[in-house]
Structure 1
Amino acid sequence: MRKINRALRQTRRLVPAVALTAALVAGGAVTAVPAFADAGPLSLTVHTPAVIGAAGGPVEFTETIANPGDQGFGVVLELSIETPAGAPPHALSLDYGNELLGGWESVELQAHTEADKVVYSGTTDKLVIPPGGTDVRLRLGAPMGEPHNGAGNGGVGPVLTFRTAVKGWRLDHPVEPPVSDTHTIKVKAISNHLLEVPATVVAGGAPIEFDAVLRNPTPSAYTNLGNVLFADRHAKVEVRGDDGTWTALPAVTTEAEPPAGFYLDGRNSSAAPDSLVTKRVRVSYSADTPLGKTELNPCVFVNEADGLPFRGTTMCSPGASVQVVAPTAPKPTAQDPAPAAAPADTSTDTPAASAKQKPGAGAPVRAAGDVTQAPAATPAPTSTPSANVPVPAADGGVNAEVTAAQAADANLASTGADSDRTGLFAGAGAVLLGVGGGALAVIRRRRRAG
């Protein structure tokens, strides 16, 4: 009986305690462990670069994921890049920072075609977003091939569409509401240009000078770079160093390319982001260079193949035309005056002058029937061929078209010796005419005498 009473008393004490606990839980006075320790809602801010360089190095940027909760959240980033159709293999690269290892992890990009565009997409590994949020480091590049194997065909851009979507690492626990961002990124290229190239150069004469400018307008660093000037194989190309001395550059030729290429900075050079480098260049042509128009063309090659010059990702700029002219002909020297014509032989049949000429008087008067006057044999004026002198153009250079026209005139003038012969023939005709007039006077006298 005592045992039964003790059990009843314990039961009566337990029931109020259980009821009180249930009431406290129902009223929220007891804090229980939540069903999940996830944060939310997340937010995303992407700081993509405005520009990247075609065939240049990757450009780093950040994506800020904000987490207002007090618990960490596991996510992955789904990333995609769209570019117009025609992109070559290995056209784009994308990496994200591994904070644990302190390095970079590559995002394996898979390419597929959609209508008139190519979409490269990939996913990061798990990223933990701590309370308050974090910055995720990424870098995007457009290598246009692989090191020393640059793609020569196709391209990317000029505008890329970059998309980011934040997904829950656990498939059964998505990010709600969905978080995504879309940005556009321009693609620009490194280039070289020629400034103030003279319009003419003399074969075998002094060199012409001008500036070659290498400009990198992008935040991408360039390596494995070839800054090349193409010129005729008869050309000699020199670059002025910082100390003012000139260095002749070796000519690099291939069977497929008639001109020669001259590396202004050597092979496998580099260019820093947002840089502008100017080199002073001078070019001369040997005396056996064919006369006429020749071209100077600047090109940039990235990731040239080893042992295969001028094969890689290629970007060329408008060049300059130069007219190769012959040396200026020396001016003709003054000719000696022609000797005075000898007096005609006076025969016994020709009467002498009836009176001597007084000083200052006119020519002696002769009988009209006695002498037939012949025109003096005046030599015809000779035309001197004009020298092939370049004509300055409005921009301070030389007008190649005018120079070519002068060259044609000079060729025509070179046949001006025929006009000298015409003068000679006219003088000879005048002499013959004088002889004929004298013979006619003799015949008339003999008839009078008879």
Structure 2
Amino acid sequence: MNTFAQRVRSSGAVSGTALLLAAAGFALAPAASADGSQPPKLTVATAAPAEVGFAGLPVDFTTKVSNTGAYDTSSARLAFRLDGALSLMPDAVSLQYRLSGTTWKTVPLTAAGDTFSGDLPETFPLAAGRSRTVQLRIGVPMGTPHHGDTNGGVSQLKLTTLVSNGASGAAVDTDDDTIKVDPLITGLSGAATTVTAGGPAVRFEATVTNPTASAYANLTDTLLANHYASVQVLRSGTWKTLTPLASNAGEDVYQFDLSGKDTSLAAHSSTATKVRVAYRKDTPAGKVTLEPCVFVNQGSIPLLGTGLCGKNVTLTVLAAGSTGSTGGAATPTATASATPTPSTSASPSASTEAPSTTSGTTSGTTSGTTSGTTSGTTSGTTGTQLARTGSSGTSTLAAAAGAFVLAGAGALGVVALRRRRTRA
């Protein structure tokens, strides 16, 4: 009896222990994923920006990673793929992140044709049933500050976000977003159609509009004209005469900096500058063109940067002594002077007062009209194409400016190719 009772007690103890272990085992099962024996269930959702500015500063957004399973992960990993419609240089797209703190870190991107790809340099733990939001920001700088690249254009990017468990694990979930890429818009308004050589100047307004969520830095708002033109801008109630700038390429296209070099422009904002232009007495009668352009990250050489140009204005120059509508009978006339000496310096005589505030990086080339884009590609690291932002087709002045810039860039060993693309 004693032996039988002892067996019963022992059996009961073992059964009780088994039940306790089973219960404990059930409770501790999720932790088994720490050694990779049980995979977590990860999902990713990216709230990408609807648009960014071409050659603008980056725009913030977030990616949320969730662990919907019953097992923890010690190393969730994010990866990204950015697909543009054209082949772009490695510095055309930027992606940054921060997991904590205020410091933005770079997500290294590898360019292969029209696709950029890269992994978040850091992994992070994520418990079962929990989520984590990663802060990101994306831009299409088209180069680096004061280094404009002729590396094509892009009207949108397809962003694919991938999440995996472990540094080398396969993606377990993806999220696709489309980001529109829009340019700055430049324009001239209020100009007359005729001007008399040696007579009064025509008056008009030059505008730069930023319709995007990107702020801009290192902007140079310019007017392109020939060497017969005398250009003034109204600053603080006083008309200031601008110095024409050109490289040594020999083309008759000169840059007049309306706002000064390296100004800035906030997201969803615009600037307006009052301008007047007169032509020297020895200007040949005929057609002349004025074209508004804005350059981002222009370096020390005029017309060398990411050029975004709007619709040009064509004026008919009447012979000296003729009468006709000039749009400014009370304005001073242009005086006869020698042809401006081409300069390789981009330091304008105009004031460098900024139209608005912001700071950051950009560079590159091109964008398009509402119906098309003129873009370019180079085999080197510098160059400029003049992108259309307000007219269809390429004006004579823009074509000359393009050749003008390329001729100047040729001295630096750069070969550029032009191509036309329909905007998506």
Output the TM-score relative to the length of structure 2. 0.68
State yes or no: 1:202 paired with 2:196: yes
Q: Which amino acid is the alignment partner of residue 165 of structure 2?
A: G
Higher strand share: 2
Structure 2 distance, partners of 1:7, 1:390, is 125
Q: Quote the residue 1:141 is aligned against.
A: 139
Q: Quote the residue 2:116 is aligned against.
A: 120
Q: Quote the residue 2:29 is aligned against.
A: 34
Displacement of 1:58 = 1.0
Structure 2 distance, partners of 1:140, 1:121, is 13
Q: Which runs of 5+ in 2 are unaligned?
A: 34-38, 328-424
Q: Quote the residue 2:231 is aligned against.
A: 237
SS in 1 for 2:15: helix
- In structure 2, which of residues 224, 232, 241 is the aligned counterpart of residue 248 of structure 1? 241
Q: Contact 1:52/1:142 (CA < 8 Å) preserved in 2?
A: yes
Q: Which amino acid is the alignment partner of residue 122 of structure 1?
A: G
Q: Contact 2:42/2:164 (CA < 8 Å) preserved in 1?
A: no
Displacement of 1:169 = 2.0
Q: Contact 1:70/1:132 (CA < 8 Å) preserved in 2?
A: no
Structure 1 distance, partners of 2:71, 2:270, is 49
Structure 1 distance, partners of 2:26, 2:65, is 29
Q: Which amino acid is the alignment partner of residue 240 of structure 2?
A: T
SS in 1 for 2:31: coil
State yes or no: 1:84 paired with 2:85: yes
Q: Contact 2:194/2:326 (CA < 8 Å) preserved in 1?
A: no
Percent of residue pairs bearing the same amino acid type: 35
Q: Quote the residue 2:62 is aligned against.
A: 62
Output the TM-score relative to the length of structure 1. 0.64
Displacement of 1:199 = 0.6
Structure 1 distance, partners of 2:72, 2:44, is 16
Displacement of 1:171 = 4.8
Once the two structures are superposed, the pairs formed by residues 34-433 of structure 1 within 5 Å of their partners are 34=29, 36=31, 41-68=41-68, 73=73, 74-99=75-100, 101-113=101-113, 118-124=114-120, 125-129=122-126, 131-155=129-153, 157-169=154-166, 171=168, 178-241=172-235, 243-256=236-249, 257-305=251-299, 307-328=300-321, 389=324
Q: Deviations over 1:215-236 (max 9, x none)?
A: 1111111112111101121222
Displacement of 1:56 = 1.0
Structure 1 distance, partners of 2:168, 2:320, is 82
Q: Which runs of 5+ in 1 are unaligned?
A: 330-387, 393-450
Structure 2 distance, partners of 1:236, 1:208, is 11
Displacement of 1:95 = 1.1
Displacement of 1:318 = 2.0
Structure 2 distance, partners of 1:311, 1:30, is 69
Q: Contact 1:98/1:105 (CA < 8 Å) preserved in 2?
A: no
Q: Which amino acid is the alignment partner of residue 110 of structure 1?
A: T
Structure 2 distance, partners of 1:247, 1:135, is 52
State yes or no: 1:21 paired with 2:22: no
Bigger mean CA deviation after superposition, 204-213 or 101-110: 101-110
SS in 2 for 1:218: coil
SS in 2 for 1:246: strand
Q: Which amino acid is the alignment partner of residue 222 of structure 2?
A: V
Structure 1 distance, partners of 2:60, 2:311, is 32
SS in 2 for 1:36: helix
Q: Contact 2:123/2:167 (CA < 8 Å) preserved in 1?
A: no
Q: Deviations over 1:29-77 (max 9, x none)?
A: 8755225366954433211111111111111101122345687533111
Distance change >3 Å, CA 72–CA 278, structure 1 → 2: farther
Q: Contact 2:109/2:116 (CA < 8 Å) preserved in 1?
A: yes
Q: Contact 1:152/1:314 (CA < 8 Å) preserved in 2?
A: no
Q: Contact 2:196/2:326 (CA < 8 Å) preserved in 1?
A: no
Distance change >3 Å, CA 129–CA 35, structure 1 → 2: closer
Q: Contact 2:90/2:111 (CA < 8 Å) preserved in 1?
A: no
Structure possessing the higher radius of gyration over alpha carbons = 1
Q: Contact 1:191/1:214 (CA < 8 Å) preserved in 2?
A: yes
Q: Contact 1:328/1:389 (CA < 8 Å) preserved in 2?
A: no
Q: Contact 2:201/2:278 (CA < 8 Å) preserved in 1?
A: yes
Q: Deviations over 1:253-275 (max 9, x none)?
A: 22224122111110111111111
